Amino acid sequence: MKRTFVTSALIAFCMMLFASCGGSAKNEEQFSLKDALADKFTIGTAFNEAQNFGIDTQGIEVTKQHFNSIVAENCMKAEKIQPKKGEFYFDETDKMIEFAEANNMEVIGHTLVWHSQLPKWFTVDDNGKEVDRDELITRLKDHIFAVAGRYKGKIKGWDVLNEALNDDGTLRNTPFLRIIGEEYIPMVFEFAQQADPNAELYYNDYSLSIPEKREGAVKLVQMLKEKGVKIDGVGMQGHLSLDFPSLENKEASIIAFANEGVDVMITELDLSVLKSPHKRLGAELTDTAEYSKEMNPYVEGLPQEISDQWNKRMKDFFELFIKHSDKITRVTAWGVADGDSWKNGWPIPGRTDYPLLFDRKHQPKQVVIDLINEYNNK
């Protein structure tokens, strides 16, 4: 008979007590999300600085137990990894990869090309003048070769290009598009492939459930495939709120991308309980608003009713992902525990949000317990 997670937690607790009295808890059976969903997809989390450097020991323990895929929340972005031209800072990423290797986890690279968190130097010369086309291509190539080249063979897949689309599905007006033209897209995928031929290559974006944006991403995949450029997957950033997006639109996008012959990944999963100052919640970093008390109602804790609503909605999304586990290869949460989440600071700074799978005390939310109970050994 299957043991429930709650029973297991009790046993684990008793074993801990026993261990603290001189016994050994080494063989303690640990029920975990990654094991329960092992035949569906990998379960990832994003690691921040305190986790990469081994400081957040509680977050690290939760990660070892429940996750088998890891991605850097910030340290692999251009502004962090090459803050000045030709000056690289690899220490934090090296640590994260060491941790992943020691714990048998896959590593996802995030991200090679993104207009955001892009250091200023990338697109201007020493006099502050915008660089020309050839120079920007060289800089992109050098950056991709330096970063993807260093970690060659260690990265399961790269978010090669992040957020290149507007919500209406047109190409976003980034310096890359303006200076190089649309060809920058196949170019960066080709550079990534040359730098690490065996890594999977992904396009990653938010709000891909919006039908027009979905279409834009489908066209992007088709364009790469027509040119014979390798693309293995689309990462659908899962920045959810209690009313956006609909499950139907999410499902339609999962199916649409799979129909193009690429893997689908649910990336950056978090579910905010807070109101967005915008019409619909996306992940546009520049879309911020000022703090107000009314927009931050749950400082003292989450009312049971909202917590129940959150758990139900997160469970519904997981059920959708499980239904399409033949198409979805990975589901990655954007952080370990609620206190870690960027949603506490965006789009409004200084709020208290509850978006992740583990609470501020690193306890699993009901949805985690339910998924483990339901799918363990299934």
Instruction: Report the interface residues with ligand XIL, using CB under 6 A.
Output: 73-74, 162, 237, 268, 283, 285, 342
Q: Which helix (H) or strand (E) holds 204?
A: strand 200-205
Task: Give CA separation, 59 vs 166, 239, 337, in Å.
Answer: 34, 21, 7
- For the chain, the maximum distance between any two Cα atoms, rounded to a whole number of angstroms, is 71
CB nearer ligand XIL, residue 5 or residue 244: 244
User: Is the C-alpha dihedral spanning 86, 124, 347, 144 positive or negative?
Assistant: negative
Q: How far is the CB of 338 from ligand XIL (least distance, A)?
A: 14
Whether 101 is catalytic is: no
Q: Is 174 left (phi over 0), alpha (psi -120 to 50) or beta?
A: beta
Secondary structure of residue 325 in the 3-state scheme: coil
Q: Which amino acid is located at 226 in the chain?
A: E
CB nearer ligand XIL, residue 335 or residue 364: 335
CB nearer ligand XIL, residue 80 or residue 315: 80
> In sequence order, which ranges of 53-132 are alpha helices (DSSP H)?
57-66, 78-81, 91-102
Question: Long-range contact list for 56-65, CB < 8 A, 24+ apart?
Answer: 56/336, 56/340, 58/337, 58/362, 59/336, 59/337, 59/340, 59/362, 60/99, 61/362, 62/336, 62/337, 62/358, 62/362, 63/103, 63/336, 64/103, 65/30, 65/32
Count CA atoms closer than 13 A to 62's CA, side-chain side: 26
CB nearer ligand XIL, residue 74 or residue 296: 74
Q: How far is the CB of 116 from ligand XIL (least distance, A)?
A: 7
Q: How far is the CB of 342 from ligand XIL (least distance, A)?
A: 3
Which residue is closest to ligand XIL by CB? 342
Whether 29 is catalytic is: no
Q: How far is the CB of 4 from ligand XIL (least distance, A)?
A: 34
Q: How far is the CB of 356 from ligand XIL (least distance, A)?
A: 11
Catalytic residue among 73, 92, 190, 268: 268
Question: Long-range contact list for 342-346, CB < 8 A, 24+ apart?
Answer: 342/73, 343/270, 343/272, 343/274, 346/285, 346/288
CB nearer ligand XIL, residue 264 or residue 371: 264
CB nearer ligand XIL, residue 220 or residue 283: 283
Catalytic residue among 73, 163, 190, 200: 163
Q: How far is the CB of 162 from ligand XIL (least distance, A)?
A: 5
Task: Give residue for tokens 């299957």.
Answer: 2
Catalytic residues: 163, 268
